[in-house]
């Protein structure tokens, strides 16, 4: 069975891109701490927005979807899930809430990973929720002409329980030694977890939950306020390319996780930058607040998108200021009703 040992990270020479990412994240984390103390009210709205976006995006990556109205009803627990997709969305909602609210009580062990997986599938009639795979699974891809082929073969079912235990032990040992930055350990753990592919279904979604959990436990709370899942969904092709590039030689222990480390670190930086932008807009209600939010948009945008950026304002205030910007000729409104959207003028 493939072994796991993260001591190699201690003496590895990193290129400027990774060094810059690490430096930026450490600096941005410090800046976030100031905001957490000074603007708690605005931050609470960011938490709720991030939960919705994370649940929607992590499921959408796997082709699991529902309507926007049903999604928001499910997130507020105002309805019961109807379809298979909605049942899996509700499961992710609950698993994400579990991570948000109890991360300090969730150590990285096989049993807790199994429990999170069970929560993911608790509303479905699947018998495999909370159990490791019992048949071989494969990571497949499809060519342009529709031909499917095996991209990567994960570990066999009989190897999986011991591998997950060894993986958790290796990560916890490295964290305990304190010689390697957690920002390097987390991508390595997630990469190895996805290569093991320990479940028949839900591996990708669980890997994203574990990313948020491990960041939390290492003192990086960015996933609470900005959806990492949405960032990954927006760069899905780069995500899969980085995984594929890092998988070569994995079974023999000769793989290089650098591409996936770079991808995840870049995602974390983007999330922190997004956090800064949103906090900068969380000022007292004013026309300038909405105007600044509009300036962050490229192409068409909706009232709801601007309202998500202006966390200190009501939807009614946002709409009033958008009308004022239309009247001044800075933006124009197109369409009508729920299909209406806005465009900046003079671009």
Nearest-angstrom CA–CA distance, 163 and 175: 18
* 40-54, 66-80, 123-137: least confidently modelled range: 40-54
Q: Which pLDDT value is given to residue 337? A: 82
φ, ψ dihedrals at 68, nearest 5°:
-60, -40
pLDDT digits (tens, 9 = 90+) for 141-184: 777 777 888 999 999 999 999 999 999 999 999 999 999 999 99
Nearest alpha-carbon partner for 311 in 220, 225, 216: 225
Nearest-angstrom CA–CA distance, 182 and 218: 7
Q: Which pLDDT value is given to residue 282? A: 60
Whether residue 271 is predicted with pLDDT greater than 90 in this model: the reply is: yes
Facing residues of 139 across strands? 152
Q: Which pLDDT value is given to residue 54? A: 97
- What global pTM score does this model have? 0.84
Mean pLDDT for 270-275 is 93
Q: Which long-range contacts (CB under 8 A, 24 or more apart) does 196-199 make?
A: 196/154, 196/155, 196/160, 196/163, 196/164, 196/167, 197/133, 197/137, 197/139, 197/154, 197/155, 198/113, 198/132, 198/133, 198/154, 198/155, 198/160, 198/163, 198/164, 199/117, 199/128, 199/131, 199/132, 199/133
In the chain, which ranges are continuous DSSP H helix? 16-38, 40-61, 68-75, 84-102, 110-120, 160-177, 182-196, 203-217, 222-225, 228-234, 236-247, 258-280, 287-295, 303-309, 315-327
> Across the chain, what does the average pLDDT equal?
92
Counting Cβ atoms within 10 Å, is residue 104 exposed (0-12), middle (13-18) or buried (19+)? Answer: exposed
Nearest-angstrom CA–CA distance, 332 and 345: 7
DSSP output for 233-287? HHTHHHHHHHHHHHHTTTTTT----HHHHHHHHHHHHHHHHHHHHHHHT-SSS-H
φ, ψ dihedrals at 195, nearest 5°:
-70, -35
Q: How confident is the model at residue 41 (pLDDT cuts 50, 70, 90)?
A: low
DSSP state of 313: S
All domains of the chain, ordered by start, with CATH?
Answer: 6-280 (1.10.3290.10), 287-344 (1.10.10.10)
Facing residues of 333 across strands? 342
The residue with tokens 């300090």 is 104
Nearest-angstrom CA–CA distance, 66 and 70: 6
Q: Which pLDDT value is given to residue 264? A: 98
Counting Cβ atoms within 10 Å, is residue 334 exposed (0-12), middle (13-18) or buried (19+)? Answer: exposed
pLDDT digits (tens, 9 = 90+) for 275-314: 887 876 665 556 888 998 999 998 999 999 998 888 777 7
Q: Look up residue 173 and give its two tokens.
A: 């040992």
């Amino acid at each position: 069975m493939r072994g796991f040992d993260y001591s190699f990270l201690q003496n590895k020479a990193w290129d400027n891109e990774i060094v810059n990412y690490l430096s930026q994240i450490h600096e941005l984390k410090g800046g976030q701490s100031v905001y957490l103390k000074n603007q708690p009210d605005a931050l609470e709205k960011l938490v709720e927005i991030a939960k919705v976006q994370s649940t929607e995006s992590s499921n959408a990556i796997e082709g699991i979807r529902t309507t926007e109205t049903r999604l928001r009803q499910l997130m507020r627990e105002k309805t019961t899930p109807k379809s298979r997709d909605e049942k899996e969305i509700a499961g992710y909602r609950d698993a994400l809430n579990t991570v948000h609210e109890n991360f300090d009580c969730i150590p990285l062990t096989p049993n807790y990973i199994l429990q999170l997986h069970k929560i993911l599938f608790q509303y479905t009639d699947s018998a495999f929720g909370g159990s490791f795979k019992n048949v071989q699974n494969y990571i497949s891809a499809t060519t342009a002409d529709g031909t499917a082929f095996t991209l990567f073969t994960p570990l066999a079912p009989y190897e999986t329980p011991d591998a997950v235990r060894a993986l958790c032990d290796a990560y916890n040992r490295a964290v305990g030694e304190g010689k390697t930055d957690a920002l390097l350990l987390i991508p390595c753990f997630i990469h190895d977890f996805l290569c093991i592919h320990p479940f028949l279904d839900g591996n990708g979604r669980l890997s994203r939950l574990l990313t948020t959990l491990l960041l939390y436990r290492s003192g990086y709370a960015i996933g609470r306020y900005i959806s990492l899942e949405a960032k990954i969904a927006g760069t899905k092709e780069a995500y899969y390319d980085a995984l594929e590039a890092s998988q070569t030689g994995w079974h023999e222990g000769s793989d290089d996780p650098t591409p996936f480390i770079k991808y995840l670190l870049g995602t974390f930086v983007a999330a922190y930058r997004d956090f800064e932008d949103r906090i900068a807009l969380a000022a007292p209600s004013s026309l300038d607040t909405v105007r600044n939010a509009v300036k962050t948009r490229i192409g068409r945008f909706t009232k709801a998108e601007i309202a998500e950026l202006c966390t200190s304002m009501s939807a009614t205030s946002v709409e009033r200021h958008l009308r004022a910007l239309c009247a001044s000729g800075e933006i124009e409104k197109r369409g009508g009703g729920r299909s209406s959207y806005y465009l900046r003028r003079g671009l």
